[in-house]
Structure 1
Amino acid sequence: MRVGIYGATGYTGFELIRWLGRHPEAEIVFATSRTYAGKRLSDAFPTTNDLQLIDATEVDPASCDVVFLCLPHGPTTIETAREVLAAGARVIDLSNDFRLRDPQIYAQWFKHPHTAPELLNEAVYGLPEVYREQIAQARLVANPGCYPTGVLLALLPLAQAGLLDGQVIVDAKSGVSGAGRSLSLKTHFVETNENFAPYNIGHSHRHIAEMEQELAAAGAPVHVIFSPHLLPVNRGILSTIYVRLAQDLTPEHVRTLYTERYAGEPFVHVLPQGQLPTLSHTTH
């Protein structure tokens, strides 16, 4: 499988290259970087290999079977997706440009119209625990957001069983790398170290739209109250979620529901009764 990567030197690009390096069928044909074009991957991440990095204008997407877009959301990424699809390669987009199916909802949350609305209906939401068969056939896959991935995996067993009643309250904490690798005051060491702060509160975080869309698709059209916080750690997300159930269930019944739903799923681990999750379970 021939793979191309746009935006290889951000945190998502770096993590993607690590995973592809473990895949026996993946061959990286090209990797782009605006900042490190003409240099090697090890110049950006010294612990990695000497993969040559090039400018996006130098690539031929037709040389690939699948292309990953690890770029900031916006018209440039959308146009790149169009070009790659026209060249005959499949696209897996890691931005939030293709996650929402409704162009009007996209415009509501992003404050501008989508420049390729015809692709929104074609894009498959890339959560394999729900859309595995559709992902395998898709030309365009929208990689889910970080917060929605955790929230949806936590709630889908209840949603699909018709057990969610009313609104959902999500209290979530994220590491600093979720903000990306670009420099900014809010992720400066002195600003985040020994600190803990909420952000994008008041129903303003764009990931809410993803959560509500996918919960509705699972049979639970609920209202999500979402409060994200920034932790002074490198990576990881921990969400505490409050729900009202449509019927009374014992903890044992709930746990059985989850173990049966996620049996055989390699990326989801249901902990033993009484054991609580920590960031170190997934980040190291």
Structure 2
Amino acid sequence: MNQKLNVGIIGGAGYTGGELLRILINHPAVELAFVHSKSQAGKPVYSTHTDLLGDTEQVFSGEDTAELVKSDGLSVIFLCSGHGESAKFLAENNVPETVKIIDLSTDFRDESNGFVYGLPELQRERIQNATKIANPGCFATSIELALLPLAKAGLLNQDVHVSAVTGSTGAGQALSPTTHFSWRNNNMSIYKAFTHQHLKEIRQSITTLQAGFDQAVHFVPYRGDFTRGIMANVYTTFEGSREEAKALYADYYASHPFTHLSEAPIDVKQVVNTNKGLIHLEKHGDQLLITSIIDNLTKGASGQAVQNMNLIFGLPEDMGLRLKPVAF
């Protein structure tokens, strides 16, 4: 592609908006048309995302969004506002059909209103032909990556058990009793046990590959005392050997650039600040334990959104996303 994509961001002051900016200002095929924020209008982007000082002189726009989305040459907009805000935005703004939409909220993950669920490891071809993408949830991404190969083989025939922990950025920037440092630091807790909102899209994705799946998914989420990353430990009955499971997973993810099978046990720092999903398998009796790790802000949100953008516009899937992990 010779001409750069003109990209707009709605809701650029939050965690996902900031992470999206960090990726896009270094993306070789992108030109930022605007970054909109109601709360930070007129201020430099680096005044909110302070690590971007020296990287961009972009200023948050507070202009009427109805005019922004009609900007000449606009290629795609990312919706990074809170849940419920994307549906409201689309109801109030007439986005031209020529402008692609990538929504990072929960509003259209049921594929309503013409949206395609944007998990490339599940339906890359549909994403390539889509005009509107519903970006998956962070917990959903990590758990779905753990289960898709089994679903594709029709092997999810018993209940699935999930225990997963996420960093504090998964809760967004709005303060609550459980996001304050003094509460979160050196602390852990369970929340939304068996009722988490991502269960709906997890089941939707599984049944896309294994139509008859009607087993329970027992999901217990934890709040971790770290800032970013997800580790999901998933187990279910598997009659084959560990070697047979490894072959199944290696074959499923062979053509996907970001999801990799690890022979050694994995840890969260291997994926923090990257768009990778790493998977480790263990067999215990008749149970297959699948450990899946991602960064909730990249593969679980903004990185995956850019991956979807790349697919829609025929760019290399990994363009702008070869990011270095923190490691230490």
Where on the TM-score scale, by shorter chain, does this alignment land: which range? 0.7 to 0.9
d(CA) in 2 for partners of 1:94, 1:54: 19
What SS does structure 2 have at the residue aligned with 1:269?
Answer: strand
Specify which of 267, 271, 278 is matched with residue 282 of structure 1.
271
State the match for 1:78 in structure 2.
87
Identify the residue that residue 173 of structure 2 maps to in structure 1. Answer: 181
Q: 1:195-239, CA deviations, whole angstroms, 9 ceiling, x for partnerless residues?
A: 0100011x3211111111111111034321111000000000000
Question: Does 1:94 find its partner at 2:104?
Answer: yes
Q: What is residue 146 of structure 1 aligned with on the other side?
A: 138
User: What per-residue deviation string (whole Å, max 9, x for no partner) do you get for residues 153-183 of structure 1?
Assistant: 1100011001111211110000000000122
Kept in 2, the 8 Å contact 1:62–1:88? The answer is no
Q: Deviation string for 1:103-122 (max 9, x for gaps)?
A: xxxxxxxxxxxxxxxxx052
Confirm or deny that 1:20 pairs with 2:24.
Answer: yes
Aligned to 2:160: 168
Show the 5 A alignment for 1:1-284.
1-48=5-52, 49-55=56-62, 57=64, 59-63=67-71, 64-74=74-84, 76-82=85-91, 83=93, 85-86=95-96, 88-101=98-111, 120=112, 122-201=114-193, 203-219=194-210, 220-245=213-238, 248-272=239-263, 275-283=264-272, 284=326
TM-score computed with the length of structure 2 as normaliser: 0.76
* Amino-acid identity (%): 37
Contact 2:164 2:232 in 1 (8 A): yes
Counterpart Cα distance in 1 of 2:25 and 2:155: 41
Relative distance call for 1:56 and 1:84 in structure 2 (3 A) is: farther
Structure having the larger proportion of residues in strand: 2
Q: Deviations over 1:245-266 (max 9, x none)?
A: 3xx2111111111111111312
In 2, Cα distance between equivalents of 1:216 and 1:56: 42
Q: State the distance in 2 between where 1:88 and 1:62 align.
A: 10
Deviation string for 1:28-82 (max 9, x for gaps)? 10101122110011100121122110125255212211100001111x3213235
* CA RMSD of superposed structures (Å): 1.5
Please say if residues 9 and 80 of structure 2, whose CA atoms lie closer than 8 Å, have aligned partners that are also in contact: yes
Answer whether contact 2:69 2:96 (CA < 8 A) is retained: no
C-alpha contact 2:80 2:104 (8 A) present in aligned 1: yes
Residue number in structure 1 paired with 2:287: none
Q: List runs of 5+ in structure 2 lacking aligned partners.
A: 273-325
SS in 2 for 1:204: coil
Question: Aligned pairs, how many?
Answer: 260
What SS does structure 2 have at the residue aligned with 1:28? Answer: strand
Amino acid at match of 2:57: D
Structure 2 Cα separation of the partners of residues 279 and 151 of structure 1: 15
What letter matches 2:107 in structure 1? Answer: D
Q: 5+ unaligned residues in a row in structure 1: which ranges?
A: 102-119
CA contact (8 A) 1:3 1:66 kept: yes
Paired AA for residue 175 in structure 2: L
Cα pair distance change 1:29/1:176, threshold 3 Å: same
- Shift of residue 135, structure 1, vs aligned partner: 1.1
Tell me the TM-score normalised to structure 1 length. Answer: 0.87
Partners of 2:95 and 2:163 in 1: CA distance: 38
> Is the Cα contact below 8 Å between 1:33 and 1:56 reproduced in 2?
no
**Structure 1 CA distance for aligned equivalents of residues 259 and 205 of structure 2:** 18
Judge conservation of contact 1:5–1:30 (CA < 8 Å) in 2: yes
